[in-house]
Amino acid sequence: MSKIIIEGGRKLEGAVRVHGSKNAVLPILAATVLNGGKNVIYDCPKLKDVYASLEILKCLGCNVSWEGNTLIVDSQTISTHYIPENLMREMRSSIIFLGAIIARCRNAIISYPGGCELGPRPIDLHIKAFKQLGIKIDESHGYISCKVDNIECDSIHLDFPSVGATENIMLACVLSNGITTISNAAKEPEIVDLQDYLNKMGAKICGAGTSVITIEGVKSLKDVCHTVIPDRIVAASYLAATAITGGTVTVENIMPLHMQPIISVFKDCGLDITEDKTSITLDAKKQIHQIDFLRTLPHPGFPTDAQAPIMAVLSIADGTSIIAENMFENRFKHVAELARMGADIKIDGRIAIVRGVKRLSGAKVTATDLRGAAGLIIAGLNAEGETEVDGLCHLDRGYENFEGNLQSIGAKIIRR
Ligand code: UD1
């Protein structure tokens, strides 16, 4: 198994480009099932989760090809509505295929996604909404079987603004005979990108980005071309890497509006940020300030996916910061590894108390989830001596050439 080796202490300087968003492209890949035609997706990141989705699409009978970072999916030739367990296990968020397959085939059979490295990954909100849409669901032997003749359009209220459930309902209702509304919908930028994608395909959806989304069913859809939005979490990770090294880096290909919850935290840390139309420059020459209380929340709150990278930064702040993880119960696994690097962090349930230390020290650490992996690499950029990060299968789910890009802005980092 390969590892990342970092020699910490180098200031990052220069510019780095952010790739297309993982969390935007995954539901878009599910959406390619719907039109029975050609889907051209520009700036599609080459990530493990994307490849896992492509295996599902191929298994369903789609033709898939790449031209550079442009992905072409032809879903005309779909021949099954069944996703086997080995493909579902590769990626927990593959549950979003359910809505798209039901919409296209009126039947879907997928293996139950089960838990994941962030703790239990319930799908009760998805199932409750599907039942409300008249979809007959049978859950047995680890599989979920769904069947519907006609989607019964309805007003669906989500008890929690789940990103995946919002996307699944949107996908399931595109090809229906009426109007469905989702209230308390998730407002993440990736939901807006899915709406844009579906509307380019001929869907009639409005409201994404607000808490009420309206889906007016259409009879058929057409071919579509689309550029995926930039990945705000990857952008946040480069900003964190810059901050922890006291460097100055311009992060290119971002949408400043999507970055506001993250920018505001770096500003609270006392760092200088300049925003442009499609880039942000972080100048981190000043000492990092502690943050009184940082909560992860649904968008437009601070994203849970940026919690591990920001924790690495706060581990060398000038005082004590408190972080509340409100989204996933098992999302502090990187803390024990940061402690091996000299970080002073205490956990009590969903609260982390981070006492800033002067500098971290290099150690052998193991990543156990995607953003935790990024957090450990970011910590390694500060640490004195050598840091060895194991568990790169997690990193590769969501970052394309992370180490190469960090290298290009001055980090001493290699994979071997
Ligand atoms: C998506 C993102 C993930 C991000 C998360 C929260 C993708 C591919 N993944 O995941 O990176 O961390 O949003 O911003 O876009 N929940 C239930 N029942 C359900 C569904 C969710 O209780 O049926 C709970 C979850 O356990 C979790 C919370 O709701 O505590 C948020 O989950 P959700 O918004 O659904 O996250 P995902 O779509 O899985």
Residue nearest to atom 26 of ligand 1 (CA): 121
Nearest one of 385, 402, 406 to 394, comparing CA atoms? 402
Residue 125, pLDDT score: 95
Using alpha carbons only, give the angle 217, 223, 225 rounded to the nearest 5 degrees.
110
Provide CB contacts within 8 A for 247, sequence distance 6+.
Answer: 11, 12, 13, 284, 409, 410
For residues 198 and 390, what is the distance between their CA atoms, to the nearest angstrom?
Answer: 39
Report residue 211 CA to chain centroid gap: 20
**N residues, the chain:** 416
Cα 30 to ligand 1 centroid, rounded to whole Å: 16
Q: Would you give the DSSP letter of residue 290?
A: P
- The pLDDT tens digits of the residues spanning 310-355 come to 999 999 999 999 999 999 988 999 999 999 999 999 999 999 999 9
Q: DSSP readout, 11-28?
A: PPEEEEE--B-HHHHHHH
Could you tell me the two tokens for 129? 């909404």
| One-letter amino acid of 237 | S
Q: Is there a contact between 258 and 228 (Cβ–Cβ < 8 Å)?
A: no
Tell me which of 160, 191, 211 to substitute to probe ligand 1's pocket, judged by most ligand atoms within 8 Å of the beta carbon: 160
Name the H helices within 133-279: 163-173, 189-200, 232-245, 256-268
Residue nearest to atom 33 of ligand 1 (CA): 162
Cα 372 to ligand 1 centroid, rounded to whole Å: 17
Bond preceding residue 113 cis, omega within 30 of 0: no
End-to-end CA distance of the chain: 9
Residue for token digits 């997690």? Answer: 394
Name the H helices within 324-401: 334-340, 370-382, 392-395
CA dihedral (113, 117, 118, 120) positive or negative: positive
- The pLDDT tens digits of the residues spanning 271-291 come to 999 999 999 999 999 999 999
Mean pLDDT lowest for which of 60-64, 136-140, 164-168, 377-381?
136-140
Catalytic-residue membership of 62? no
Using alpha carbons only, give the angle 132, 135, 140 rounded to the nearest 5 degrees.
110
CB neighbours (10 Å) of residue 394?
22
Residue nearest to atom 34 of ligand 1 (CA): 162
Residue 115, pLDDT score: 57
| One-letter amino acid of 193 | D
- The pLDDT tens digits of the residues spanning 145-174 come to 999 999 998 899 999 999 999 999 999 999
Query: What count of Cα atoms within 13 Å lies in the side-chain half-sphere of residue 365?
Result: 33
Active-site annotation holder among 44, 62, 105, 116: 116
Q: Enumerate residues lining ligand 1, CB below 6 A.
A: 23, 26, 93, 121-126, 160, 162-165, 186, 190, 303-305, 327-328
